Amino acid sequence: MTTIRKTIDIKTDIDSVWAKISDIGGISSLIGFLQDSELSGDGRVCILKDGGKLVESIISVDADLHRVMYSITASPLNMSFHVASMELEQTPTGARLIWTTDLQPEQAAEQFKPLMDMACTDMQSTLLN
């Protein structure tokens, strides 16, 4: 199992960041390599700009903890296991997003880490607007 953890400090109030993170159907407005995202039952389907598809199961959306948990159940990235959380903390200057992803096999992490890096770069600005 490989764990990837990213943090982003966002200089805006935690409630406005939470409104965007908790809008699970709107994740494509935050991450540039996602062409579209839509809710499907208890899950979400994200369409990549290259046409690939991520099928996700939403585990929880917890307003008290400011945390969204989800699992990618099907993707073009050859993952046998994936679970992730996006959690917010209050900081003196705004909010901190902590994105933790556990996945298998280790080789999938080599493909997934650059995607998380790109997504974090995108969210650094999209969570401000």
Q: What is the pLDDT of residues 22-37, one digit of tens each?
A: 999 999 999 999 999 9
What pTM did the predictor assign? 0.93
Number of neighbouring beta carbons within 10 Å of residue 43: 17
Residue 126 is predicted with a pLDDT of 96
**How many CA atoms lie within 13 Å of 52's alpha carbon, on the beta-carbon side?**
10
More confident call, 84 vs 76? 84
Q: Which residues contact 76 (CB under 8 A, 6 or more apart)?
A: 48, 52, 53
Task: Tell me the domains of the chain and their CATH numbers.
Answer: 2-126 (3.30.530.20)
Residue 77 is predicted with a pLDDT of 86
Cα separation, 110 vs 5, in Å, equals: 14
Give the residue-averaged pLDDT of 100-104.
96
Cα separation, 123 vs 69, in Å, equals: 17
pLDDT higher than 80, residue 123 = yes
Alpha-carbon torsion 19, 9, 121, 99, what sign?
negative
Cα separation, 89 vs 75, in Å, equals: 29
